[in-house]
Amino acid sequence: MVKEMNTKVELCGITMDNPVMAASGTFGYGYEFAELYDINVLGSFSFKGTTLEPRFGNPLPRIAECNEGLINSIGLQNPGVDKVISDELPKLAECLHKKVMANVGGFSIEEYAEVSRRLDGCEQVGWIEVNVSCPNVHDGGIAFGTDPEAASSVVRAVKAVVTKPVIVKLSPNVTDIVAIAKACEEAGADGIALINTMLGMRIDLKTKKPVIANKMGGFSGPAVFPVAVRMVYQVYEAVDIPVIGIGGISTAEDVIEMMLAGATAIEVGAANLVDPYVCKKIVEDLPRVMDKYGITDLKDIIGGAHNG
Amino acid sequence: MKDIIFTILSNKKLADRTYEIVLSCEKGAHGVLRPGQFVNIRLDGLYLRRPISVCDWTEDTVTIIYKTVGKGTEQMSLMAEGETLDVLTPLGNGYDTAKTGDRPVLIGGGAGVPPMYGLCKALLAEGKKPMVVLGFNKENEIFYVEKFEELGAEVYVATADGSAGTKGFVTDVVKTLEFSHFCTCGPEPMLKALDNVIDKNADGQLSFEERMGCGFGACMGCSCETKYGHKRICKDGPVMERGEIIW
């Protein structure tokens, strides 16, 4: 490459080498992927959703295949925040020398605040990603992300106890994404990440029953990409804080498109599960695709589709 | 684990809805070390990969046997010699041959028969004398019996409808045998039935099947609870020790 390509972006005061992150729940705590390649090539990643207590998650089967995607119903399986801090983060520190995004799940406002407070104290954590959009747990997660009032209560409670930037991860399973994003911004959120998975279902023709034990689950993969681009576009218009684009991204072209819609950074989710090398491939492919579309500085294209 | 491109050396029908593919790669590239490990195959037009257990391997080949049960396996059955497959390999823990004693019994049911072949070969190479019990629904589904016999193993066959071998299930044969350890792979009801009939003091290794997301431990799509905590069937399994399983 002859030309100087700049892939750096700034997310809530932290400069990232590139906008490519792996999405929570598709990248574990990073070290499994570090066996395959140097994960420092990524901008960063968001680790597995963490709750106060350990959770086993939902009954099996938890996975159903779809055209251009899959439905998952993991149910926030994680070892609990204390184990994450004592066991997982030290292992991650050996392979990632960058700030990581801490994904926080919860079943009450107090739980969100307490888990965030504990993770805020970890030096490795750069951002707190508050997941108010998990479709796979009852009485929590998505219940907070589908109502502007509830979402802003979570944001206020978390902001009151942390020092690091708070990013709210939103659900697409709402009638007015803009109202919820604005409420989060007003409550003090430093960024908005969207979209989490879409509620979906598959039925097995042989058993004539839903494939997923929990019946419904979160649909993700390339099929949801246009929905994600649309929602990122709408939210970018409505808020002044950075937007992270998530949903069906699997190529460097998708990254550019999502950034044109308004994303400062992006997260790759489902694609990691079918091609564990996909994030590395996207990062390596970005300069070529930038060149192809006459882009020399990636941050210049953020929200580019809104101009004129 | 690596992502490698295999070339299909052969793809042939062995029995009703049952096919064998021999895949070739560069020497040492596939990384398979233990019987009971599996590979995860990417197929055009299908989003998730298809996990298939390894039947046998050499330095530069991997043999898999699969049953056509849906779109993915039907698509595989139509692939021709010379075509390529994108495969994640090797996956899973596989069987530990150090635990079997000198006279283990290997029990395979239907699509669970293939990993028993690689295991049988490995045990014979260690100088052990495995017995093999293979269960099928009916005669036209039977495959690989002569291959096991060619290895020099003592082979028993059971069919549910009695069209070949002992009429009944693998449990009916296993009940009559004396062994040092058991290794098995097959549908979960079969694994459960074996656990019920085999003496509680006997150790065994059982391979489980589950719908998987990634197949390499990232998504928690196939986690199960064991007596030793949560395990991912794809990464910490698919082979579990009898003593840790919660039925």
Taking the CA atoms of A22, A26, A29 and A34 in sequence, report the sign of the dihedral they define.
negative
Predicted local confidence at residue A135, as pLDDT: 74
At position A192, the amino acid (one-letter code) is I
Question: Domain boundaries in chain A?
Answer: 9-303
Chains A & B: contacts with CB separation below 8 Å? 87
B21's tokens: 């593919």
**How many Å from the N-terminal Cα to the C-terminal Cα in chain A?**
31
Which residues on chain B place their C-beta less than 8 Å from a C-beta of chain A?
1, 3, 42, 46-49, 88, 210-214, 216-225, 230, 235
Partner-chain contact A63 B220, CB within 8 Å: no
Predicted local confidence at residue A138, as pLDDT: 64
Closest to A77 (Cβ–Cβ): which among B49, B216, B223? B223
Which residue has 């901008």 as its token pair?
A: A43
Q: What is the rounded average pLDDT of the residues B60-74?
A: 96
A109's tokens: 């406002």
* CA A71 – CA A65 distance, rounded (Å): 6
Partner-chain contact B220 A77, CB within 8 Å: yes
Closest to B217 (Cβ–Cβ): which among A32, A57, A65? A32
Are B185 and B53 in contact by the 8 Å Cβ rule? The answer is yes
Q: Which residues contact A308 (CB under 8 A, 6 or more apart)?
A: none
In which residue ranges of chain A is pLDDT below 70?
1-3, 138-141, 308
Predicted local confidence at residue A140, as pLDDT: 58
B142-159 pLDDT per residue, tens: 999 999 999 999 999 999
Query: Which stretches within A8-121 are classed as H helix?
Result: 31-34, 81-83, 89-93, 109-120
* CA A17 – CA B202 distance, rounded (Å): 56
B195-238 pLDDT per residue, tens: 999 999 999 999 999 989 999 999 999 999 999 999 999 999 99
Q: What is the rounded average pLDDT of the residues B63-79?
A: 96
> Taking the CB of residue B35, how many other CB atoms lie within 10 A of it?
29
Partner-chain contact A56 B225, CB within 8 Å: yes
Closest to A74 (Cβ–Cβ): which among B3, B216, B221? B221
Nearest of A305, A307, A295, A302 to residue A1 by alpha carbon: A295
pTM as predicted: 0.94
Partner-chain contact A63 B224, CB within 8 Å: no
Nearest of A30, A13, A168 to residue A105 by alpha carbon: A168
Are B37 and B28 in contact by the 8 Å Cβ rule? The answer is no
Predicted local confidence at residue A307, as pLDDT: 77
* CA B128 – CA B99 distance, rounded (Å): 12
Q: Which residues contact A187 (CB under 8 A, 6 or more apart)?
A: A151, A152, A153, A155, A156, A159
Which residue has 């944001």 as its token pair?
A: A155
A53's tokens: 């207590």
Homologous superfamily, domain A9-303: Aldolase class I (3.20.20.70)
Are B100 and B125 in contact by the 8 Å Cβ rule? The answer is no
Set out the domains of chain B in order of their start, with CATH numbers.
2-91 (2.40.30.10), 97-207 (3.40.50.80), 209-247 (2.10.240.10)
Q: Is A279 a catalytic residue?
A: no
* CA B91 – CA B36 distance, rounded (Å): 9
* CA A36 – CA A4 distance, rounded (Å): 28
